[in-house]
Structure formats: structure tokens, C-alpha cells
Structure 1
Amino acid sequence: MQTDSLSSLVDLDALAAWMDTQCLEQGQIAQAHLLTGGTQNILLRFCRGSRDFVLRRPSRHPRPNNNDTIRREARILGALAGTGVPHPGLIAACTSEAVLGTAFYLMEPIDGFNATMGLPALHAGDPAMRREMGFAMVDAILALGRVDHVAVGLADFGKAEGYLERQVPRWRSQLETYRDLAGWPGPTDIPGIDVVADWLEVNRPRNFSPGIIHGDFHVSNVMFRYDSPNLAAIIDWELATIGDPLIDLGWMLATWPLPGQPVLENLRIEPDDGFPMIDELIARYAEGSTRDIAAIDWYVVLACYKLGIILEGTHARACAGKAPRETGDQLHALTISLFKRALSWLEKADSKFTAVAHTIPI
């Protein structure tokens, strides 16, 4: 990106002046370059003095809540320091919008790779290495679930009370908002959309042990170490809150690639052999946690339901001419696939819905 375009996203002189107030190295900011295109959050890597930094701030045209999201991200990254959870190390945060026009924070660069962007030779050449990568992801959410959120200062970071009760009504309401988009035909061809919601309400776990939730835990939101199958960091903490940590396991399982089934393009890994099967991932979690996973089917079904409705939003916008039609059609197909997957989990978990599920092709 050209320097003048970069400067329109981040005022480097203002950033340097603020860093002076934080005693963060000295001298000119050098080697500044964007790590993302800036359509979502902006990630800028640069060097000052003898140290490398990564700046994270909202996009060029932030939505109303984006600054609060950045503040929350900085807060949770600071709280996780020293916990054993792999995460980007927080250096400093600016909660004010006066310096750069938005809130922002500085973090340590991550020495790792995103597996969906390609595997290095060490990992690409060894199925056993890929198997351990899957288990490393489970170990990361186990570590996160063990953090005492009250002890690390996050007692008010989210509302745990009623967390599970709010899930289905929240996403049912989200689906209804799509009716305002002209051209959307409705959810008529999404298999079992009411069956799944009703089952979730009837079978909702009554109790859970509150903890920190990442909220969007899948293979595209982790970075692996170059020298081992272990995680270098869990990234993109904008959906983090306090609730039921089994949500993260359910989300991982709902998005885990299955042989012969469609997968979200940004979750695809090649080569894809060697990775653990879902039952093995569940067993790994059970070995490392005191949480009751007897209702894990419920968490996977919820994740399929929620993600399917999120993806259907793009399809609805595409029908209204507000998103590319090809993208909308692709995501609609994935929504259908997710609901089929939900029905297969639902059928396994509760035989009273078997007859309904069998009327819909899986």
C-alpha cells in the first residue's frame, strides 16, 4: 500500500507521539505495512527503535460499536497475560479516539502461520503433525476455560446469568430481520430450521460453570507455530465474553472438516488427512476438563444453528442486491449444509426428533 494511503488509515506522527507518552521505544516509525486489507479491522506492523509492533484498530469506516469492540479486545488480551492461553501479547492500549480517530491497541507480532493459507513443509509432509494440530486447538480452549475470569478482572466482561437461555431467541430474531430485505425468499428451503430451534429450547442445559468464551473458535482464528503442531496464538477476540466455555468446543466441532462434506472456504486446509475425528476431539476435551460434556450435542447443534443464520444474512443481502449473488448462493448452500449437520447431531442425541429429521434429506 502506498504511504499516502497508509497514512489515511493511521497517522504515524500521532502514533509516535502517543507512544512517547507510554515510553515505548524512541525514534521514527519504520517499515510500516498493513497485514490486512482494512475492510474489517486494520492490522499495521511496524518497527520503532529495536522493537516490532502490531497495531489493531477498526476499519476505515467503523461501525458504531467498533471502538468498544477494540477496547474489549485490549482488555481481554491484557487479562490473559500469564495464564497459559496462547494469545497475542498486549503491549499498550489507547481507549481514547482522540489520537487516531479510533480506539486502538499495540500487540506483539505473532510468529506463526494460519493453516488455511497453506501449511509449511514440516506440517504439510506429516499427517501425524496435523493430528496434533487438532489436539492443540482443543488444548487451547481447555486452557481458556480454566482461567478464573473473576480473578483476572473480567467479572463484568459479560452477563453469564441467562446466557444459554438467550441464544435461540437472539438468533431467531436475527433471522426474522432478513425479511426486511427485498427479494429474500425466506428460510423455506433451510432444512429443519424450526425443528432445530425447538429442540435447542427443549434440551437446553440447565446449568454450566461460567468462564471466558472466545466466541468464534475455528481453524481460521488460530495461528500455529512453525516448529511444532502447537498454537502460537488464538486471534480475533472481538466476540469474546463471559458465558459457557463449552460454546467454543461446540463451535470448533460444528466447523470441523468432515470427509465428503462441504466446508467453508476459509476453513479449508490442504492436505486434509491426518486431522483427528470429532469423537477424538471430544475425548481430548473430556480428559482435560472437569466440565460435564454429556450435552455436547446441544452445543454443536447450537453452533450450526447460529452460524447458519449468520451466513444466511449474506444470502439475504445478496437477494436484495447488497452483496455479490455468487457469494450469497455459496453461503446459502453452506447454511443448508450446516442445518443438515445439525439435524444429524440432533437425531443422534434425541430419538424423539428422529421421525422429523428423516423427512429431510441428510
Structure 2
Amino acid sequence: MLMSEYFSRPLSSWLSAIAALAALGSISPASIGLSKFGPSSDYFPRQIKSLSRVSNAQAAVVDLDTKRPIGDIPYFEELMAWYRAHLPDEKKTGLRIVHGDYKLDNLIFHPTENRVIGILDWELCTLGSPLADFANLTMPWSIRPTDMQIGAVMSGSFKGASERQPIALEELEREYCRHTNQPYPIPEMVFARSWMLFRLAVISQGIAARVARKQASSDQAFILAKAFPLIGKVAKNVNEEADSSFGPRSKL
């Protein structure tokens, strides 16, 4: 789904998605026999360990045409240091069922009522922090007007998207807090939003590695292969907005 299509969805879709996500996060995995479904350690440290290793391997992939490696995600070392220094306290929620790709595309809505009746595509499901799914759902709000160069690469439909948001990000977070009975704001959301963007950059970098090896040749693959440097910079921007010690803000 393109950015403009996300923001064209009615407010009821977003509110229903928040309610369904909160309901999913309220379930104790042990209560439904899923205590062994995934690792019992904290989610984000696991993600940092595995995806940093994956990203390093992808960065070293040599393009068969240019004979050059595709390279690191921008500010890789700075981002890794920031993530390790700002890990969320996952004991607040405990391990919960994490969908892994929670977004409107993967939801089925009731035809006449404002509620979600199905969640699709559970391939990335594990046990972890429910904030990961909330950050993934609200990722479009992390794209600032100054980040629109991403749109030129990924879809060409970002321009003006921020002006068409059906609800402010702050209100979505308040709605999530209301459903999950926690105070607003959620301090850990800066980390979660930045990390999920970084994860998207790793995914895009992986596509770039496959294109470099001539293992992917579709037009969409070529488009996404160009996106990982830009997405990495947006992940850094999220951190900079909340933490002035991160460093001077870059311009895309």
C-alpha cells in the first residue's frame, strides 16, 4: 500500500487497528499455551543482535557489475550505539505475541462495523514487545515533510502525505494508551519507531544485496534496493528529534 493510500483510509480503520492490537497485546502467551512459542529473552536486544549481523553481511555483498560492495546503512555504528544505550524496559509489559508486520494491509475489517475481524501474514510472529507492532503500524507518521526524498524512490506518492493524515500520531498513541491502560506518552516509543525503521532499512538492504547478485530482477526490487540509505537516515532523524545528544541533524 502506498503512503497516500494509507492516509486515505478512514479514521475508523486506524482506531479499529489500534483496538485489535491492544487486544492482541493483552493476551498472556502462557494462558493460551504459547509460552514456548518464541525465546523468553527481551525482544529488542535479540533483534539488535540478529539484524546487525544480517546487515553487516549484506553490506559486504559485492555488486557483480560494479565490483563494489553495496555498503552499510548510513550511520550504522551511531544507530547501533544509540539503540544499545536506550533499550526499552520490556518488563513493563512482559513477553507478548508480536505479529511482526502489523499494518493495515494485513488486517481484515468487518464490512459494516468498525472492528478488525482477522489478522493475516503471521510469518514473522514471535514473542516480544507489543510496542514493535504499534511502531510498525504507525510508521507512516515517522516520515517527516523533509524526508520526502524517500517517496521519490519508493513510490512517488509521499508528497503532501503529511497534510492528509486522518489523525495526529499523538492521538493514535493516546488511543493505544487508553486501550492498554498505560500513561501517555510512552517513553519507549522513540526507540521502537526508530528501530522499526532501521529494520525496514535492513530489509531494503537485503533486497539490494539480491539485486547486486542478480538474484532479483523485478522493477519493484530495483526500486526498493535504492531505499535503504534513505530509510536509515529517517531512523536517525527519529532519534535526533528526541535526543539532542545524538548529533547534528542530517538533511536528505
The structure 1 segments of at least 4 consecutive aligned residues displaced by more than 6 Å after TM superposition are: none
String of CA shifts for 1:148-198, please: whole Å, max 9, x gaps: 21111111111132322222121111112225633163335x432222221
Aligned length: 233
2:185 corresponds to 1:295: no
Greater Cα shift, 253-262 or 283-292: 253-262
Aligned to 1:236: 121
User: Unpaired segments of 5 or more residues in structure 2?
Assistant: none
The aligned counterpart of 1:324 is: 217
For 1:42-191, what aligned pairs fall within 5 Å after superposition? 130-179=10-59, 181-183=61-63, 185-188=69-72, 190-191=73-74
The superposition leaves residues 300-327 of structure 1 with CA deviations (integer Å, 9 ceiling, x where unpaired) of 1110111110111111111121112743
Contact 2:60 / 2:70 at 8 angstroms: preserved in 1?
A: no
Partner of 2:80: 197
Partner of 1:56: none
Give the TM-score normalised by structure 2. 0.80
Identity among equivalent pairs (%): 22
Among candidates 150, 157, 170, match of residue 279 of structure 1:
170
Q: Are 2:131 and 1:246 equivalent residues in the alignment?
A: yes
Matching residue of 1:361: 251
Report which stretch shifted further, 177-186 or 197-206: 177-186
| Change in CA separation of 1:246 and 1:332 when aligned onto 2, cut-off 3 Å | same
Computing the radius of gyration over CA atoms, which structure comes out larger, 1 or 2? 1
SS of alignment partner, residue 71 of structure 2: coil
Q: Using CA pairs under 8 Å that are at least 6 residues apart, name the structure with larger relative contact order, 1 or 2.
A: 2
Superposition TM-score, scaled by structure 1 size: 0.57
Asked if 1 retains the 8 angstrom alpha-carbon contact of 2:100 and 2:133, the reply is yes
Partner Cα separation in structure 2 for residue 211 and residue 329 of structure 1:
36
What one-letter code is carried by the residue in structure 2 that aligns with 1:288? H
| Cα pair distance change 1:214/1:337, threshold 3 Å | same
Aligned to 1:206: 89
SS in 2 for 1:223: strand
Structure with the larger helix share: 2
Per-residue CA distance 1:265-294 (angstroms, 9 max, x = gap): 5x99xx994522322211111111145721
Asked if structure 2 preserves the Cα contact closer than 8 Å seen for 1:316 and 1:328, the reply is no
C-alpha change, 1:342 and 1:311, in structure 2 (3 Å) is: same
Which one-letter code corresponds to 2:90 in the other structure?
Answer: N
